[in-house]
Each structure stands twice: as C-alpha cells, then as structure tokens.
C-alpha cells in the first residue's frame, strides 16, 4: 500500500490495490438521490414540524423549495436513465433486486455467507429506499393535485407521505452511520466517491464478487447524450413553471 502511494507510477507487476465498484452513472444516480433527499427532508420537516413551521413561517417559499427539488430530482434521474450507462444501471438493478441463498443466510447472520457486489443488507436497503421513493412521488403528486382538484384528495395521503419520511430518515441515519462512522464498513464510501474500493476490503466483504473492468472508457452515444439533454431541459423548464406557480 505505502509503496503504491509514494511511487508516482505503479509498476505493472503490482496487484491493483483497488477494484472498480461503481460506474459514473451509478454514482451520479446515488448523489442526485442523496442531494435531493437532504433538500426535500429539510424543507419538508420545516413545513411539517410545528416548531420549525412557526420559526420560519414562510410556507410558500418552503413549498417552492420542496416542489422545486422534487422536480429537479425526477428530472435528473430520468436524464441519467436516458443518457447514462443503461447496461450498468440494469445490471445493478438486477443484482439489487435478487437474493441468493447466501444472501438469505447473510440476513440470518449465518457465518460463511458469501456476498456478491452487494450484501443482502445493501439489497434490502436499496429495495426499501426505491419503494419509499415511489410512494413519496405518488403521495407528493396527489398532495399537489389535491390542492387543485378535490376529487384527488384521499384521507391517507398526508399520513402515508409522513410515514415514508419517518422510515426513510431512519434508514438514511443507519446508512450514514455505516458509510461514515462504523470503521469496518467505512472503506465502502470510496466506491461511491471515486468509484473504486480497496481490493482487500472487497475480498473480505464481497467474496462472491468478481469486479468488472472500470468504466473509464464508457461514453454516452450522441443519441443518448441528446436525449439526456432534452430531458434535462424539459424537466428544468417544467420545474421552473412549478416553482413560479407555487410562489404566485
């Protein structure tokens, strides 16, 4: 390790100290989601908690932040799906949504369970967060439309939106703990920032995983780039309209 860090050019004979875990599209999806989560939960909590609502008071502004973030969040996710690396996104989704016998053993805390690129806990977390995101969107859209059309009001829209918030905040707290505080799992953070994780860490925690080549050479096709740009443009324009309508 030390030799690799101090030498300017690692020699070809040295085994790679890191292995690629996340491509650029996967990382972008993660960070878009993370940034949106913090903006949405901050503005949402300020709208929701009586103490914060009274202290800030500017409900229309908070609503504009909340709705604007939601619009940009969905826009960016859609643009990344359209213009990003489909192959890797699909592979990641399939890995996350499938549980192997080893994963089930991992969940039962059986020793010797071998994880792939994702362990079972990461898979469960991803599935829960995706389901919550879908429910946030469904209930959020209904809250927005219900203000305009009384036929779209349901007695449980706000309670479901709130319940998702409590579960999501608890999950994110655990996620942050494992990524930033808990020493044995902290090396995984590098995979989401730079794309690569320590090779020894990968062997120890993800024994059944064979890392692929990194995606440094991947570039979107001109068509995908155009489609992604169009989605960004249309989504941003729609978000601006949404914000102006909220502040009106």
Nearest to 242 by CA among 173, 170, 145: 145
CB closer to other proteins, 78 vs 91: 91
* Residue whose structure tokens are 């489609």: 227
Shortest spacing between CB 62 and other proteins, in angstroms: 9
Shortest spacing between CB 157 and other proteins, in angstroms: 6
CB closer to other proteins, 59 vs 186: 59
CB closer to other proteins, 87 vs 182: 87
CB closer to other proteins, 91 vs 190: 91
Can you tell me whether residue 187 is helix, strand or coil? helix
Q: Which residues on adjacent β-strands are paired with residue 198?
A: 18
Shortest spacing between CB 92 and other proteins, in angstroms: 10
Binding site for other proteins (CB under 8 A): 47-51, 53-54, 57-61, 87, 91, 94-101, 103, 116, 123-124, 126-128, 130-132, 134-135, 138-139, 142-143, 146-160, 162-164, 166, 212
* Residue whose structure tokens are 């999806």: 29
CB closer to other proteins, 103 vs 232: 103
C-alpha dist (Å) from residue 218 to 6, 82, 222, 247: 29, 15, 12, 42
Which of left, alpha, beta for 109 (phi over 0: left; psi -120 to 50: alpha)?
left
Enter the tokens of residue 176: 């942050």
Q: Do 237 and 100 touch, CB atoms closer than 8 A?
A: no
Shortest spacing between CB 201 and other proteins, in angstroms: 21
């Amino acid at each position: 390790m030390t030799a690799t860090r101090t030498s300017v050019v690692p020699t070809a004979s040295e085994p790679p100290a890191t292995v690629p875990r996340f491509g650029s599209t996967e990382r972008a999806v993660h960070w878009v989601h993370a940034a949106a989560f913090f903006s949405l939960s901050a503005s949402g909590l300020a709208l929701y908690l009586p103490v914060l609502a009274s202290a800030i008071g500017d409900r229309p502004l908070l609503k504009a932040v909340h709705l604007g973030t939601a619009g940009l969040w969905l826009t960016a996710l859609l643009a990344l799906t359209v213009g990003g690396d489909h192959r890797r996104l699909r592979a990641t989704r399939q890995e996350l949504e499938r549980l192997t016998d080893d994963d089930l053993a991992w969940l039962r805390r059986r020793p010797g369970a071998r994880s792939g690129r994702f362990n079972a806990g990461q898979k469960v977390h991803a599935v829960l967060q995706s389901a919550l995101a879908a429910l946030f969107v469904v209930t959020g859209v209904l809250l927005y439309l219900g203000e305009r059309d009384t036929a779209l009001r349901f007695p449980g829209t706000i309670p479901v939106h709130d319940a998702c918030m409590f579960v999501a905040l608890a999950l994110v707290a655990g996620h942050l703990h494992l990524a930033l505080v808990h020493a044995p799992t902290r090396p995984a953070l590098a995979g989401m920032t730079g794309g690569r994780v320590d090779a020894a860490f990968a062997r120890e925690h993800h024994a059944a995983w064979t890392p692929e080549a990194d995606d440094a050479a991947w570039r979107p096709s001109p068509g995908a780039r155009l489609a992604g740009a169009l989605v960004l443009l249309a989504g941003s324009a729609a978000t601006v309209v949404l914000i102006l309508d909220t502040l009106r």
